[in-house]
Structure 1
Amino acid sequence: MDTLAELRAGRLAGATRLDLSCGLTEFPREIFDLADSLETLNLSGNALDALPDDLGRLHKLRELFCSDNRFTKLPESIGQCSKLDIVGFKANSIANVPAAALPASLRWLILTDNQIEELPDTLGHCTRLQKLMLAGNRLSRLPDPMAALQRLELLRISANRFESLPDWLLSLPRLSWLAAAGNPFDTQAEDAAITAQSVPHVAWQDLALGKKLGEGASGVIHQATLKSSQQDVAVKLFKGAVTSDGWPHSEMAACIAAGAHPTLIAAQSRIDGHPDGTEGLVMALVPPSFRTLAGPPSLASCTRDVYADDAQWTADVALRIARDIASAMQHLHARGILHGDLYAHNILWSAQGGGRLGDFGAGWMTGSLDASQTAALQRLEMRAFGCLLEELLARCSNAPPTAVSALKDRCMHADIASRPSFDEALRILQREAAP
């Protein structure tokens, strides 16, 4: 029996989570029978365009997901759910976000890939907000009351219509992961960066694709062989649609502009002649001894990566990983590139080989910004590095140097101007690392 039939038969009494993806055009009223237990409601992948006016009857609801539906307006009844922690309405046709639709309890709001031109000032009342996903809309400004979002750590405003960034954005004390590529102020910088740092082109016919190595929102990565040289490489084929980070074209631009660096997984060449017109990049194949440092954030952890329960390393290994990533970030900042997603889940590591930074899905350029804005944005990424240091040091099997713990604290300082640059961080890590 399917889930909807079980719900209607009363067999789901006491359920804390309900997932329904079965072509719904109306909200099943039987969901209210779970009002005293339901905490997570996932109605993604249906044909809904409205929620009931009395949604607040679900008084224990903490997580609501309605992505890939037909909403044109964020339902105001959402605001009645006073315990809502996470709301996700990705890939609808939402153009209207009423003030009443935003409960003050929100910690994570996902409105990616809609048609939103304006956000209400009351978004600034959601002071618990840590994660805000707005890529792929029609926004040209953010409400000034959002300056009150002192807990905001991750913001995605890529693929919108911003001519500039609001000044208050660059002083938020906890903002660490910011993506803003594919806006008018950034697109010229993208084009200039690609022109300045061109890469060779490889014909699709010269590639023999092997097994799939991984898949993300923006594309699929395969192991491959260059037929002409018999060289083993990695190939990323882009999907083309807007992602939670922005446009795949922006990712390609950042990856190409990054150039070569020993601790960076960057582009070696660009693919021409794919039979479906798919864009793609050829990258170095990282040895199989390297593995991903951590998993991405969970619904519970929100902005922080999830490590394996047994994740542990010596202080020397932790310092080598930190040094390698600091070196990669120093290189990117020197080239006017912001990574936007400096996380352990985008780092490959091995005990002997150190760390390698990849995934430019949230990468963007600072070429059109003035020096003070660029410096502030680079200091935002220092807080992301501070989070990484904190996670690495917490899992050391022996005590790390006190100077590195002090560096971590400086990287996470609430006053952005007090944070070090990657130049300084790298000098400290090189000094403290084992010979």
Structure 2
Amino acid sequence: MRTVTLRRVVITGLGAITPLGNDVNTFWNNLKAGKSGAGPITRFDTTDFKTKFACELKGLNIDDFIEKKEARKMDLFTQYAMVVAEEAIKSANVDLEKIDRTKFGVIWASGNGGMQTFEDQIIEFAQANFVPKFNPFFIPRLISDIAAGQIAMKYGLMGINYCTISACASSNSALVDAFNYVRMGKANMIIAGGSEAPVTRAGIAGFNALKALSTRNDDPTSAARPFDVDRDGFVMGEGAGALILEDYDHAIARGATIYGEMVGGAMTADAYHLTATHPEGLGARLGMQQALEDAELTLEDVDYINAHATSTPLGDLSELKAINTLFGEHAKKLNVSATKSMTGHLLGAAGAIEAIACIKAISDSLVPPTINTTNVDPNVPQGINLTIGQAQQREINVAMSNTFGFGGHNAIAVFKKYVK
């Protein structure tokens, strides 16, 4: 019987474009400063829409990263993926000519894929009286797996390559998969993360129809208010995040800078409802418990939880119930924060940028804040430190990132301070 010696998995590359900044450092600096990325939607006329604001990217010039001819073959979500993959590879300082690229993979996530492409092409189809004259790049721009393929083609990466889709848990699912493949020796390096470009007419109208989005149009910057008694839904966000997960020995051999370590992960299902989380957070609690068991850590080892916390009335409370029930008295000793209060909800890309927030929180010994929470819901379990208003300094050795998605998907990732 074959046995597998599990390898140590470290993080050697980071890349981010978010509503708070178009690189990792700008994103992190604005996150810890408690800035909101929300503002009026600029992509289309919102006159007839219930929600007229979102957390859009700002000042990103795709021409600086991708040739126009190539960009025309890509939906925005793929363009975003290419930008953050480049930053991650540069930050990893990897010489692609000196490594085995058959052992370098890509696992990429997107909950929606080429939503803008689909919307545009179907509108053109209808306006042409349903004569089927589609753009030849319609399908390659649309499909969710294409970002992983494009990254691999640009850098000649011939290892594991596919897309994970589990709604808003998608990029954490990608991270957990990448972690497992690297520690089992199936890859030396994997670029894992996610990208999303859902600020479209269909994206906003569709989530409005679900009553999932905030309609606080008079004050967008305060609309994302996790745990607040007046929360009324999430704020749509867009962007991407990438992490390079690498075998520890491989990283040491090439002299890589190590930003942190991934030590555990788990994926579970609520098996409860199409869009709602389990009211007692049973699936979330199981996921957190299994992720810590996978990491061989105790409840008391956890210092910080980056909560999924989207600002929905049921979701925020069910997650805190899960944390309170699982961690017991220790729930009062750790910090919880909801960075979606600043970035908005990047759907399938949320886990990737929140994983980066966890890595930076560990390295800087600083918990990013939860903003806009002015009147805490009385149903929130007593004693949990929600890091309201401003960042808090504390030693962080272990951070956990929670992501949950429509369909009852839960994906949890656990990160640890790197020690030789």
- Place the TM-score, normalised by the shorter chain, in its bin: under 0.3
Question: Which one has more relative contact order, counting CA pairs under 8 Å at least 6 apart?
Answer: 2
Q: Which has the larger radius of gyration?
A: 1
- Hey, which of these two has a bigger chunk of helix by percent? 2
User: How high is the TM-score relative to the length of structure 2?
Assistant: 0.26
Report the TM-score, using the length of structure 1 for normalisation: 0.25
